[in-house]
């Protein structure tokens, strides 16, 4: 079977170490204990005196985080900024623009941004496999509401319908190749005719022209395809592989090593933002539409879909699964054989943040935080 696969490779540049400044305040020496007078209570030494909440609060090593979250935005960042969660944690987010996933990863590799959140899972893992020292420490979308479209009236029975068909999708999208392998096909690249286009609009046009049988579309394409007469949405990527991890929060490993308090406080703000998002989705649609400069109808087309799932959890187990699939299908560098991907996933700071948020705000929504803990145990243990 003829395969048309266009593989995009990133030119990797040397990593520039990130530096940050921060300090720890030392404790003053205890005051000398005065003699007790008759009938008076013995005073406590100065070092035993109650500390104010402000004195107890940790100070982030750096207060400004340079962040790329793509043109589609990040609803958790939007909420955390709007509701003041970042400010409460002593943080300011500085948006760094990039026109494509490859550009965002290049900015991260060269130290021009601190965090990338909308560049998928394959891109960061391929960078790590090539020798770039990155760490996955959290998440954005778990399921990105990415629709699979076909000509109007096409029936969908499952991923088996892709076998032997032309599918406009880059096979580095591991949810599909992994699902094909789960059917028993050792070589998913031969089982399906993968056709790669430079953008989703071209892939969509190919379906309309009968050049391909199916096409994967991006999150932001939901509004367009739902309003087209020529095509149907037959499935979503999350139907093919639940919790496939979609977009991870990624940074240079050195940034985490130098700024652990900053990262923990960042995760606390995002966890609180998710709680607010789950309880106020209609308002979240309005906020996100304003943030990315589009209509509420456009945002609602994907955000109100059951296949749109956001969660700042690192998803250690799904990331390891993605790494294994990419390795088996040849989308990782040979250097990957000498890399343990577990060394590039940090779950400790997210869990510490979650524990602190539950202690501070858990009584505001006990059921939500109970579910969040269960989700963490399921995906990271």
Q: Are residues 144 and 220 in contact, defined by beta-carbon separation less than 8 angstroms?
A: no
- Average pLDDT of the segment spanning 42-62: 54
What is the strand order of the sheet 166-168 is part of? 193-195, 166-168, 214-216, 147-151, 231-236
pLDDT, position 332: 97
In degrees and rounded to multiples of 5, residue 283 shows phi and psi of: -65, -35
| Architecture of the CATH domain 61-143+246-380 | 3-Layer(aba) Sandwich (3.40)
Residue 37 has pLDDT above 60, yes or no: no
| Architecture of the CATH domain 147-240 | 3-Layer(aba) Sandwich (3.40)
pLDDT band at 59 (very low <50, low <70, confident <90, very high): very high
Indicate if 147-240 has the same CATH topology as 61-143+246-380. Answer: yes
In degrees and rounded to multiples of 5, residue 138 shows phi and psi of: -175, -165
Domain segments of the chain as ranges: 61-143+246-380, 147-240
pLDDT band at 101 (very low <50, low <70, confident <90, very high): confident
- Average pLDDT of the segment spanning 196-201: 94
pLDDT, position 73: 85
Mean pLDDT, the chain, as a whole number?
87
Dist CA 267 CA 313 (whole Å): 9
What is the 3-class SS of the chain, one letter each residue? CCCECCCCCCCCCCCCCCCCCCCCCCCCCCCCCCCCCCCCCCCCCHHHCCCCHHHHCCCCCCCEEEEECCCCCCHHHHHHHHCCHHHHCCCEEEECCCCCHHHHHHHHHCCCCCEECCCCCHHHHHHHHCCCCEEEEEECEEEECCEEEEECCCCCCCHHHHCCCEEECCCCCHHHHHHHHHCCCCCHHHHCEEECCCCHHHHHHHHHCCCCCEEECCHHHHHHHHCCCCEEEEEEHHHHCCCCCCCEEEEEHHHHHHCHHHHHHHHHHHHHHHHHHHHCHHHHHHHHHHHHCCCHHHHHHHHCCCCEEECCCCCHHHHHHHHHHHHHCCCCCHHHHHCCHHHHECCHHHHHHHHHHHHHHHHHCHHHHHHHHHHHHHHHC
- Tell the residue number behind the tokens 């199916």, with chain if given: 214
Give CA 332 to chain center in angstroms: 20
Q: Are residues 215 and 148 in contact, defined by beta-carbon separation less than 8 angstroms?
A: yes
pLDDT, position 99: 73
pTM, full prediction: 0.84
pLDDT band at 20 (very low <50, low <70, confident <90, very high): very low
Of 42-51, 111-120, 125-134, 331-340, where does mean pLDDT reach its minimum?
A: 42-51
Q: Are residues 292 and 125 in contact, defined by beta-carbon separation less than 8 angstroms?
A: no
CB atoms within 10 A of CB 84: 11
Instruction: Report which of residues 209 and 44 the model is more confident about.
Output: 209
pLDDT, position 282: 96
Dist CA 127 CA 134 (whole Å): 8
Strand 141-144 and strand 115-116: the pairing is unpaired
pLDDT, position 70: 78
Dist CA 15 CA 254 (whole Å): 10
Percent of the chain with pLDDT over 70: 85
Q: Are residues 161 and 262 in contact, defined by beta-carbon separation less than 8 angstroms?
A: no
In degrees and rounded to multiples of 5, residue 133 shows phi and psi of: -85, 85
pLDDT single digits (tens) 323-353: 999 999 999 999 999 999 999 999 999 999 9
């Amino acid at each position: 079977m003829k395969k048309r696969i266009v593989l995009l490779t990133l030119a990797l540049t040397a990593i520039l170490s990130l530096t940050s400044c921060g300090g720890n305040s030392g404790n003053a020496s205890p005051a000398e204990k005065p003699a007790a007078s008759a009938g008076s209570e013995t005073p406590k030494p100065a070092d035993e005196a109650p500390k104010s909440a402000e004195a107890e609060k940790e100070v982030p090593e750096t207060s400004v985080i340079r962040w790329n979250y793509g043109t589609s935005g990040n609803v958790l960042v939007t909420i955390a900024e709007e509701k003041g969660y970042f400010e409460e944690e002593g943080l300011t987010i500085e948006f760094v623009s990039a026109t494509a996933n490859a550009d965002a990863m290049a900015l991260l590799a060269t130290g021009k941004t601190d965090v990338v959140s909308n560049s998928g899972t394959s891109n960061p893992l391929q960078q790590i496999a090539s020798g770039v020292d990155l760490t996955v420490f959290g998440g954005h979308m778990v399921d990105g509401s990415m629709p699979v479209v076909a000509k109007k009236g096409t029936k969908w029975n499952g991923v088996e319908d892709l076998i032997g068909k032309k599918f406009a999708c880059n096979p580095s999208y591991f949810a599909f190749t992994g699902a094909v392998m789960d059917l028993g096909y050792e070589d998913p690249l031969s089982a399906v005719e993968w056709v790669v286009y430079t953008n989703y609009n071209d892939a969509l046009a190919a379906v309309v022209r009968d050049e391909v049988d199916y096409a994967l579309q991006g999150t932001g394409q939901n509004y367009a395809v739902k309003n087209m007469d020529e095509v149907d949405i037959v499935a979503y990527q999350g139907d093919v592989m639940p919790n496939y991890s979609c977009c991870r929060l990624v940074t240079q490993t050195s940034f985490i090593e130098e700024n652990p308090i900053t990262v923990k406080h960042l995760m606390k703000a995002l966890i609180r933002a998710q709680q607010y998002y789950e309880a106020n989705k209609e308002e979240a649609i309005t906020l996100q539409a304003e943030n990315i400069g589009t209509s509420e109808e456009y945002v609602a087309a994907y955000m109100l879909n059951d296949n749109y799932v956001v969660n700042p959890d690192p998803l250690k187990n799904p990331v390891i699964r993605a790494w294994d699939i990419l390795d088996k299908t040849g989308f990782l560098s040979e250097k990957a054989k000498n890399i343990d991907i577990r060394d590039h996933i940090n779950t400790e700071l997210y869990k510490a943040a979650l524990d602190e948020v539950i202690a501070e705000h858990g009584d505001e929504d006990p059921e939500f935080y109970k579910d969040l803990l269960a989700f963490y145990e399921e995906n990271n243990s």
